[in-house]
């Protein structure tokens, strides 16, 4: 790619641009379009970058801008780029991540795997979770700590799996567990499927396998039928974590653990409060910069009622729980 067009947009516009991309076929050649957030947790501050092999025509730029109502009065930034492989170049900017016993790398930065480390090959892609973000590395370290403490889990769910990284780590740590990994974005499920093959983690419903599904929150038969879970990991966002609290409570076994991440320090008190009201207590917390990772335990109920199984309902309407 030798030319780039940059335009501001909202998150909703960026997602619509990718969901309804038939309009791109009217352009020759068809550009590669990448969406990115400018400010974390600010859906109004996103941008679109369209890459062209040649200088884009005014008509092509106008067409892209017409798909972004909030950018109607913006001045497109058109820049000529050096003749490089931008996919490779962007990944060269990434460094391997050491978190707990895990060593997360791409094909271009594998380097020397430290002695005793568990390598996980995760390419930068359309799904969140390459290990480089503090929320993901914090979850990896939390999982590693639980294993070192001798914790055992038989049924594990990764809600909002992204690239599948945390599901793979759980599968390595507890290879006899029944694992479920879900994401609201079908693209993430496809990415996880590819990464499972790349890293040698089996998919399926059996013991030691990872069952994959696209689901809004916990609303999927696979998630419901395999409940209750001993361990649930939800590395998503603070708002969905709070709204999903009743649903996650329903599918967590008494005494079971929740690992919650994707929230800022300023949001931790609200998330903890939402789960404490539903019978959880904070067991452990680790902070990496501004990003805490919380582990909560569901209190055992000493009443004659038997715990109810999850029914799949959630107070959150279909939305985006698993991508950034």
Judge whether 220 and 180 are in contact, CB under 8 Å: no
Distance CA 159, CA 139 (A): 13
**Known binding positions:** 136, 160, 183, 235
Torsion of CA 13, 94, 240, 173, to 10 degrees: 150
Distance CA 161, CA 214 (A): 10
**Known binding positions for S-adenosyl-L-methionine:** 136, 160, 183, 235
> What would you report as the CA-atom Rg of the chain, rounded to the nearest whole angstrom?
21
Distance CA 131, CA 138 (A): 9
Judge whether 134 and 289 are in contact, CB under 8 Å: yes
* Number of other residues whose CB lies within 10 A of the CB of residue 94: 18
């Amino acid at each position: 790619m030798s030319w780039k067009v940059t335009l501001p947009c909202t998150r909703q516009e960026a997602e619509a641009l990718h969901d309804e991309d038939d309009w791109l076929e009217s352009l020759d050649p068809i550009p590669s379009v990448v969406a990115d957030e400018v400010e974390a947790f600010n859906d109004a501050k996103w941008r679109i970058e369209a890459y062209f092999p040649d200088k884009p025509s005014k008509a092509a730029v106008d067409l892209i801008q017409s798909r972004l109502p909030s950018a109607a009065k913006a001045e497109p930034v058109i820049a000529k780029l050096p003749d490089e492989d931008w996919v490779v170049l962007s990944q060269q900017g990434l460094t391997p991540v050491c978190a707990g016993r895990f060593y997360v790398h791409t094909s271009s930065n594998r380097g020397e795997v430290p002695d005793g480390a568990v390598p996980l090959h995760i390419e930068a892609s359309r799904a969140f979770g390459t290990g480089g973000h503090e929320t993901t590395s914090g979850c990896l370290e939390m999982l590693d700590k639980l294993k070192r403490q001798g914790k055992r889990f038989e049924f594990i769910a990764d809600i909002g799996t992204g690239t599948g990284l945390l599901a793979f780590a759980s599968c390595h740590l507890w290879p006899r567990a029944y694992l479920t990994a879900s994401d609201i974005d079908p693209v993430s499920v496809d990415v996880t499927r590819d990464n499972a093959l790349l890293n040698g983690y089996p998919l399926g419903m059996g013991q030691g396998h990872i069952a994959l599904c696209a689901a809004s929150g916990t609303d999927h038969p696979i998630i419901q039928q395999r409940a209750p879970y001993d361990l649930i990991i939800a590395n998503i966002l603070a708002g969905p974590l709070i709204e999903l609290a009743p649903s996650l409570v329903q599918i967590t076994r008494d005494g079971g653990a929740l690992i919650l991440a994707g929230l800022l320090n300023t949001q931790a008190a609200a998330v903890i409060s939402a789960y404490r009201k539903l019978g959880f207590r904070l067991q452990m917390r680790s902070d990496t910069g501004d990003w805490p990772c919380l582990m909560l335990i569901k209190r055992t109920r000493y009443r004659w009622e038997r715990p109810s199984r999850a029914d799949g309902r959630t107070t959150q309407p279909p939305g985006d729980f698993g991508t950034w």
